[in-house]
Amino acid sequence: MPLLNPQAQLLRELRQQAAQLSCGRERGALDERVLAALAATPRERFVPAALRARAHENHALPIGHGQTISQPFIVALMTDLLATQPQHVVLEIGTGSGYQAAILARLVKQVYSLEIIAALASRASQCLRELGLHNVEVRAADGHAGLAAHAPYDGIIVTAAATNVPAALLGQLKPGARLVAPIGLPDQTQTLTVLEKQADGSVQERRVLSVVFVPLTGADAPAD
């Protein structure tokens, strides 16, 4: 059997991991649209130059400022769980490197992404522009309040851990839409959770698997 290139090897690993963990929108499988978006997105562009040789490893990597680019499997899974459609408008809390936003940009009409660290927001925005992904708007802002100007959203994805999802984010979610976030204490194992807003405004919660994310920071973050 011929050797796969690093990108193809990574995609095969993601499919296998989803099957082993029985994760994905369809039990045990990731949406092929999501995997195609990962295949089309050069992860090496979103990591520091010194780490580009490791860009196709299925691991989180540091990107500076105490932040990380998430493990590709977690990016794929969170995107899959969001259940995107081409006409959707999505809000991301925690731009980081911009890699998750780049994946979403290939799947939806518009992405709004908030990043509290201005240097990361600027770097991510530049990288996204260089890749021709002009349907992503990155703002340097505290994500706890969301972005009311473009609400309600067809999906919200939170890429940092909090003990509770900020109420403002749930308020900006359309009925029938999903919010995907790691929920739990900082510096501990959290639970990747899908919150689906019902027609009456109530929220149905589904816990998916254990994860570890950097904490959601900002003015409204709880004190240690």
pLDDT of residue 222: 44
Domains of the chain and any CATH numbers: 6-211 (3.40.50.150)
Predicted confidence band at 22 (pLDDT cuts at 50, 70, 90)? confident
What's the rounded Cα separation, in Å, for the pair 20 and 22?
6
Give the whole-number percent of the chain exceeding pLDDT 90. 81
Element (H, E) at 75: helix 72-82
Which positions are catalytic? 70
Round the average pLDDT of the chain to a whole number and report it.
Answer: 91
Predicted confidence band at 100 (pLDDT cuts at 50, 70, 90)? very high
pLDDT at position 1 over 50: no
Q: What is the pTM of this model?
A: 0.92
Predicted confidence band at 70 (pLDDT cuts at 50, 70, 90)? very high
3-state secondary structure 170-201: HHCEEEEEEEEEEECCCCCCEEEEEEEECCCC
144 burial type by CB count under 10 A (0-12 exposed, 13-18 middle, 19+ buried): buried
pLDDT of residue 6: 85
